[in-house]
Amino acid sequence: MTMILYRHILRAAALAALAVLPAPSMAADASGNAERGAYVLRLGGCISCHTDSKKKGAPLAGGVALKSPYGTFYAPNITPDRETGIGGWSTDDFIRAMTEGKPPQGMPYYPAFPYTSYTRMTRQDLIDLKAYLDTVPPVRKETPAHEMRFPYNLRVAMVPWQWLFFNGGTFKPDPRKSEAWNRGAYIVTGPAHCGECHSPRNFFGDVIEDQAMSGNEAGPDGKRVPGITQHPKRGIGAWTKKDIAYMLKTGSAPSGDAVGGAMAEVIENSTSHWTDADLDAVAEYLKSLPAR
Ligand code: HEC
Ligand code: HEC
């Protein structure tokens, strides 16, 4: 409780400080590189939620049903269609959604959209990603309304939720660590949002930070997600860096078993497309996580 109170006070102080500073320029500083953006899309795993592969839906046209303990979410259409997609959005609209969890108009997003991790992405990665999204064929397709249980159906509840639980801000490299470690930490905690599935959440749907990556009893579709810290039994302490990189590339664990469930989709849509350097960087970072 005291922690929450402290946060309130700190936030109020930070907001007061911001109010007297001149607003930072929000203008995009580059037009973006769509080719790089296509790779950022793979880092971010956007396809898993925004392409309805099971129903052979058009790329990024949305409609995927995401079951959670709070209800069923439908990931929206993010093709550049003006009416049913994000065709009318500026790059700044896009960056605000990805890093602040706020649409151009209206109440904040539910954290089922992992902006809680994407907030760590660099501005350049987001500008490139938007440039790529602008090249995707626009698809006209309405997204069904979310089917949430009370009280989670009240989107207005996301205002205090953000205030209490959302820690925004771009990833800050640790100068004491290697370049590979920092790249791995950026990918895991930012675009690849590994902790969104591999960390446990509290009653409010907030990731419990001091148990990060220790596993989650109620992951996607209510299924258990294993821990990926260096714990020898309840983690991947026994895996080498090579084992980790190989699994993320191919889906095959050191035991020889294929990794399944939601992770199979992560591998197919995301990690199997990564460069070897990025796979090694992620392995380097995961090997440094204390056992939990
Ligand atoms: C775990 C599933 C998931 C992943 C992964 C995901 N999204 Fe989403 N996204 C959602 C959901 C659910 C919403 C709707 C949230 C809401 O209605 O509050 C959403 C909303 C959005 C919106 C707002 C659209 C609108 O019309 O307001 C954008 C833009 C977006 N996502 C882009 C992305 C991009 C880009 C990526 C990859 C970097 C991504 N998303 C990855 C689930 C996901
Ligand atoms: C959408 C949810 C989701 C995301 C995102 C996700 N994982 Fe997983 N992961 C799972 C699930 C579920 C399993 C268990 C798969 C199984 O039962 O075969 C798993 C398994 C694993 C395993 C094998 C653990 C073991 O003990 O067998 C590793 C390693 C792993 N994930 C690493 C990662 C990394 C690194 C990332 C980020 C790049 C990531 N995961 C992102 C859901 C996810």
- Tens digit of each residue's pLDDT (9 = 90 or more) over 200-217: 988 777 888 889 999 998
For residues 145 and 51, membership in a common domain is answered with: yes
For residues 76 and 119, membership in a common domain is answered with: yes
Distance of alpha carbon 149 from alpha carbon 224, whole angstroms: 21
Ligand showing the shortest atom-to-Cα distance for residue 95: 1
For residues 153 and 277, membership in a common domain is answered with: no
Tell whether 260 is covered by a domain: yes
For the CA of 48, the nearest atom of ligand 1: 5
Half-sphere exposure of residue 263: CA atoms within 13 angstroms, side-chain side: 21
Ligand 1: which residue has its CA nearest to atom 8?
113
- Between CA 199 and CA 170, with CA 271 as vertex, the angle to 5 degrees is 60
- Domain holding 239, by residue range, is 179-286
pLDDT band at 26 (very low <50, low <70, confident <90, very high): very low
Is-above-0.75 flag for pTM? Answer: yes
For residues 154 and 43, membership in a common domain is answered with: yes
Distance of alpha carbon 9 from alpha carbon 16, whole angstroms: 11
Tell whether 17 is covered by a domain: no
Ligand showing the shortest atom-to-Cα distance for residue 231: 2
Q: Is the dihedral of CA 105, 94, 271, 241 positive or negative?
A: negative
Half-sphere exposure of residue 139: CA atoms within 13 angstroms, side-chain side: 19
pLDDT band at 23 (very low <50, low <70, confident <90, very high): very low
The verdict on whether omega for the bond into residue 151 sits within 30 degrees of 0, i.e. cis, is yes
Query: Does position 220 have pLDDT exceeding 90, yes or no?
Result: no
For the CA of 86, the nearest atom of ligand 1: 26
For residues 122 and 237, membership in a common domain is answered with: no
Distance of alpha carbon 145 from alpha carbon 155, whole angstroms: 12
Task: Give the pLDDT confidence score for residue 222 in this predicted structure.
Answer: 78
pLDDT band at 30 (very low <50, low <70, confident <90, very high): low
